[in-house]
Structure 1
Amino acid sequence: MAISFNHTIVAARDKRESAEFLAELFGLPSPQPFGHFMAVTLEHGVNLDYADAPQGEEIRRQHYAFLVSDDDFDAIYGRIAARGLQHWADPRQQRPGEINHNHGGRGVYFLDPSGHAMEILTRPYGSDG
């Protein structure tokens, strides 16, 4: 049996703002409404379905990691820098303004408008380099 990941729901303070943030930063097509979600489509048909969190409910930070090509990393990191977004080389946010070179690639962490920890990396964890 072939199993593939299809979608996940991402809680947001403002689903449109968060979905547009990711789509623009990653150079993806504009988010599309789907029911009460704003869907951002990634490769292989995977969707991030952004939903407004109930009023007054705390949004628990989640971590979303995206494996990208070197060219995509350059483009996305260029947009991060052009926007002046805070970013870090590590998930504990102790190396601000840096890129890591883990696993023979590059990676960086940043926050989306709802406070979720986003990561882009060019090599999967455990790669030899």
Structure 2
Amino acid sequence: MGAELNHTIVWCRDKQHSARFLAGLLGLPEPVLFGPMLVVRLDNGVSLDFYQREGRIAAQHYAFLLDDDTFDRAFARLREQGLDYWADPGRQRAGELYRQHGGRGCYFDDPDGHLLEIMTRPYAMGG
């Protein structure tokens, strides 16, 4: 089989709020409770397991590859919610999409300050 990502824990302050935020924005099924975690399953079988904790949350980056139609719907939801978004991870190009690798994308914050990215084409890995 080789190596594949199966799941990752996403630390958060309110797992209900954070997991539903992501699932709703990406148009995914309702999160499912698994032990102390609330799980959001992506279409490729990878899951993001939201684990609630007190105190400081170290910000992470999570990028989601979407087809064009799913991107359009997710981006519309992002704008409907009045969320800030940027064309760069340094948050310098506010209110813009990036256009790289023949696709589109943007960055935005989730409720816990994780930097999320939605994109329509994977990054070109030159060889």
Query: TM-score, structure 1 length as denominator?
Result: 0.93
Counterparts of 1:10 and 1:4 in 2: how far apart (Å)?
A: 18
Counterparts of 2:122 and 2:76 in 1: how far apart (Å)?
A: 21
Structure 1 or 2: more helix by fraction: 1
Counterparts of 1:27 and 1:121 in 2: how far apart (Å)?
A: 15
Match of 1:22 in 2: 22
Query: TM-score, structure 2 length as denominator?
Result: 0.95
Pairing 1:1-129 to 2, within 5 Å after superposition: 1-53=1-53, 55-56=54-55, 58-126=56-124
Q: How many residues align?
A: 126
Query: 1:52 and 1:16, CA in 2 relative to 1: closer, same or farther beyond 3 A?
Result: same
Opposite residue 108 of structure 1, the aligned amino acid is C
Opposite residue 75 of structure 1, the aligned amino acid is R
Structure 1 segments of 4+ aligned residues over 3 angstroms from their partners? none
1:103–1:127 CA contact under 8 A, matched in 2: no
Listed as ranges, the gaps of 5+ residues in structure 1 are none
Q: 1:18 Cα deviation (Å)?
A: 0.3
1:7–1:46 CA contact under 8 A, matched in 2: yes
Counterparts of 2:107 and 2:72 in 1: how far apart (Å)?
A: 14
Counterparts of 2:57 and 2:90 in 1: how far apart (Å)?
A: 19
1:104–1:127 CA contact under 8 A, matched in 2: no
Alpha-carbon RMSD across the aligned residues, in angstroms, is: 1.3
